[in-house]
Amino acid sequence: EAGVVQSPRYKIIEKKQPVAFWCNPISGHNTLYWYLQNLGQGPELLIRYENEEAVDDSQLPKDRFSAERLKGVDSTLKIQPAELGDSAVYLCASSTMTGGKETQYFGPGTRLLVL
Amino acid sequence: DQQVKQNSPSLSVQEGRISILNCDYTNSMFDYFLWYKKYPAEGPTFLISISSIKDKNEDGRFTVFLNKSAKHLSLHIVPSQPGDSAVYFCAASASNTGNQFYFGTGTSLTVIP
């Protein structure tokens, strides 16, 4: 079974430029997450989708960040314009229920460097 | 406010010995806890979980202990192997908060051959 796929794996951009990340979750996983991970920190939730609906985007900085999951499968996360402080790893995860409990499966992440 | 804390940023253990990784939490509503393992340049990989109705869950060399009164959980790896060298994150969620997962800052484990 293929895991969560993310692209690109690495991205270097100049500040004020736009950037987009793509995620393909595990087949059949209805729940999709985008996390931000800074160096030396744990993942922090940006947004959670149930199918195509964003059910928790309270942590998403909506002035510059946007996300979509139009058909309830793939998702994109966009930053426009990027700032120096956005340099981090952006993780996508999808989840399934096992024994009544949710388990998240993470992609390899996209490492963003804003210069 | 960090609701899940891993106070040891790093840990070194000799191969064959026990590794004990600790995690504390502040939210008494958390009822599900997980441990993830992360290698460099990869995403976190699910390792083991425990529900608050239990105080111990074992899977091979990995055992997670939960002390609800102390709001503390620990991951025991025995015997430790060099391939266990990675960053370990604990995570917690509460059923009544829409399954939002809160992660600790991670502990980097080095198993010395």
CA distance A24 to B75: 31
**pLDDT attached to residue A72:** 84
CB distance from B9 to chain A under 8 Å?
A: yes
Q: Do A41 and B106 touch (CB under 8 A)?
A: yes
Q: Is the pLDDT of residue B13 over 70?
A: yes
**Cα angle at B28 between B27 and B31, to 5 degrees?**
100
CA distance A51 to A27: 12
Exposed/middle/buried for A1, CB within 10 Å: 0-12, 13-18, 19+? exposed
Instruction: Give yes or no for a contact between A32 and A55, defined as CB atoms under 8 angstroms apart.
Output: no
Instruction: Give yes or no for a contact between A32 and A72, defined as CB atoms under 8 angstroms apart.
Output: no
**pLDDT attached to residue B90:** 97
Model confidence at B46, pLDDT cuts 50, 70, 90, reads very high
Instruction: Give yes or no for a contact between B100 and A45, defined as CB atoms under 8 angstroms apart.
Output: yes
Handedness of CA A10, A107, A18, A114 (dihedral sign): negative
**pLDDT attached to residue A102:** 83
**Cα angle at B25 between B19 and B27, to 5 degrees?**
160
Q: Is the pLDDT of residue B70 over 80?
A: yes
Residue in the structure block whose two tokens are 């399954």: B99
33-72 in chain B: CB under 8 A from chain A: 34, 36, 41-46, 49, 51
**d(CA A4, nearest CA chain B) in Å:** 9
Model confidence at B106, pLDDT cuts 50, 70, 90, reads very high
Name the β-bridge partners of B88.
Answer: B37, B107
Q: Do B98 and A48 touch (CB under 8 A)?
A: yes
**pLDDT attached to residue B41:** 85
Q: Is the pLDDT of residue B100 over 90?
A: no
CB pairs under 8 A between A and B: 54
Q: Is the pLDDT of residue B47 over 70?
A: yes
Give contacts of B103 with chain A, Cβ < 8 Å. Answer: 42-44
**pLDDT attached to residue A1:** 62
| pLDDT over 70, % of chain B | 96
Instruction: Give yes or no for a contact between A31 and A50, defined as CB atoms under 8 angstroms apart.
Output: yes
**pLDDT attached to residue A91:** 97
Model confidence at B97, pLDDT cuts 50, 70, 90, reads low
Q: Do B89 and A42 touch (CB under 8 A)?
A: yes
Mean pLDDT split into 10-residue runs, chain A, 115 residues:
91 97 94 94 94 90 93 94 96 86 91 97
With H, G, I as helix, E, B as strand and everything else as coil, classify residue B27: coil
Give contacts of B51 with chain A, Cβ < 8 Å. Answer: 101
**pLDDT attached to residue B98:** 64
Give contacts of A102 with chain B, Cβ < 8 Å. Answer: 32, 93, 99
